Every structure is written in structure tokens, then in C-alpha cells.
Amino acid sequence: MFDELDFACDGCGCRWRLVPAMVEQVACRHNGMFGCPCGYMNDLSAKIEEARIPPEPAPTRADIDIDDLFSYHRLTPAQLDRFDYIRGPIKVAAAAIMANCPGGADRTTAIRKLRECLMTANASIALDRK
Ligand SMILES: [Zn+2]
């Protein structure tokens, strides 16, 4: 995972801001080399290493805050908006399953898993990375 990368071309001095997907592409496919339209090949390897965000370590049992995990979390308006962004597409998927899958145990399970998906995604927003 990368953060945005701001740098100036060593050839012409023009300013660049690479978004994370572009940083990843430069890092993986071009060995850290970025060709400016001026023709200069900038070596960004060191800058890319600085911009790299280390993966978060998986929480260990000791890190899990049980009180927080089972507490009510009052949601901010921004969190409620994020709930809505996720709920809409999942409802569309549920409607598609209801309209196209024959009734039965598998369809029931598919709908149940969509509900679990929505609830787990909402929990990730409410708990905010805990
Ligand atoms: Zn340049």
C-alpha cells in the first residue's frame, strides 16, 4: 500500500503527484523509474520506499478490546453516509438474487450472507479499525 507521492522531475523540475495506484504501478512494473514527458527518467525507488505504508499487524488476542467491541458506538453523520453507500449496492444484489435464483436453501443462504456482509461492513465503520 502506498500514500500519494509528490516529487519534482530531476530533468525539467515540473511537479508531479502520483496517486496510490500510479505509485504501485511505477514500483511494480517500472522498478521505481518514472519517465517524465520531458524525456528524463526519474528514479523514484527511495521515495517510493518512504511512501510505502507498512501493513497493520493483525490484532492479537491481547490487543482486542472486548469492552469496546461490545459497546454501542454512536455514529457520526459521515459514518451514516458510508452505511448508506454500502447498503444500496447490497440491496441491489439481494434483489437480483431474489429475481433470478430459484427459491430454496441456497437462495436463503445467499440472502443471509448478504445480510452478514452488510452488518460486518457496518461494524467495520462503527468500530473504525478496531
Ligand atoms: Zn521532466
Mind listing the pLDDT tens digit for each residue in 36-91? Answer: 889 999 999 988 888 888 887 777 777 788 888 888 889 999 999 999 999 999 99
In the predicted structure, residue 100 carries a pLDDT above the cut 90: yes
Q: Is residue 24 part of a domain?
A: yes
Look at residue 9 and tell me if it is in a domain.
Answer: yes
Centroid of ligand 1 to alpha carbon of 44 (angstroms) = 13
Q: What's the mean pLDDT in 31-36? A: 90
d(CA 46, CA 44): 6
Q: Is residue 92 part of a domain?
A: yes
- pTM for the whole thing? 0.51
Same domain for 29 and 69?
Answer: no
Average pLDDT over residues 7-23: 90
Interval between CA 17 and ligand 1 midpoint (Å): 13
- Residue that has been written with the C-alpha cell 448508506 in this structure: 84
CA of 127 to the centre of ligand 1 (A): 44
Neighbours of ion ligand 1 (CB under 5 A): 9, 11-12, 36, 38, 40
pLDDT reported for residue 89 = 92
pLDDT averaged over the chain? 89
Give residue 39's domain range: 5-51
- Rounded distance between C-alpha atoms, residue 39 and residue 26, angstroms: 16
Which residues lie below 8 Å from residue 19, measured CB to CB, with a gap of 6+? 4
Whether 56 is in a domain gets the answer: no
Whether 25 and 79 share a structural domain:
no
Residue 31 lies in a domain: yes
